[in-house]
Copies of this chain bind each other. A is one copy, B any other.
Amino acid sequence: MYDGIVQDLIDEFGRLPGIGPKSAQRIAFHILQSPSFDVSRLSTLLGEIRDKVKFCEICGNVTEQERCSICRDPRRNATLICVVEDAKDVAAIERTREFRGLYHVLGGAISPIAGIGPDDLRVTQLMQRLANGTVQEVILATNPNLEGEATATYLSRLLHTLEIRVTRLASGLPVGGDLEYADEVTLGRAFEGRRTL
């Protein structure tokens, strides 16, 4: 619809997740017309990101060094490993400030439909980390959906051969949520996991 480079830029933004044609157009014109937006900075960052950002050789989290800031931190509890699907999950858990152990990023979840099996995830690396006997508990924090549950089930069976405590994050009603609007599965889980007060 537009001439040349404007349409090219709209098309490129449209390839990013969550950005439709209208949003892509709005973004392209914002970049074109808003003098306050530092376009060269975004361009430079995009040019650098894949070269500079690596994955931690221990846990698989994003980092610009060999090991991520969490694995390098001696104050973290090395007897506790939280297994997550994605580096974004590490950031989400860190935001809670509840967890002081280490992480292990699988890089996805088991999904027969998407053709992702255990060999496509960082499962071997997890077993290697557990081999020296330091770790006492593994928290399986994969997503509470079909793929995440399948991955947690697979890992829990694998880990039960070792002398390590294996736990799973609680499922239940979200805090601040409304019982009336909870789906049946979540409500069922909330009953299953009920605590004595």
Contact = CB atoms under 8 A, between A and B. Distances in A.
Interface of A: 1-6, 8-9, 12-13, 15-19, 23, 25-32, 37-50, 52-53, 62-64, 68-69, 86-88, 91, 94-95
A18 B9 contact: no
A10 to B, nearest CB: 10
Contact of A62 (B6, B48, B50, B68): B6
Given A16-B31, A19-B27, A25-B88, A3 B45 contact: no
Chain A interface helix/strand/loop/mixed: helix
A37 B64 contact: no
A197 to B, nearest CB: 34
Nearest to A31: B49
B3 A69 contact: yes
Nearest to A50: B39
A1 B39 CA distance: 23
A156 B3 CA distance: 31
Given A1-B91, A18-B27, A32-B62, A40 B45 contact: no
18 contacts: A1-B94, A2-B91, A3-B63, A4-B64, A5-B45, A5-B48, A6-B62, A8-B45, A12-B41, A16-B27, A16-B31, A17-B26, A29-B88, A31-B46, A32-B50, A40-B47, A43-B44, A43-B46
Given A6-B49, A17-B30, A43-B47, 6 more contacts: A5-B48, A16-B31, A17-B27, A26-B88, A32-B53, A43-B43
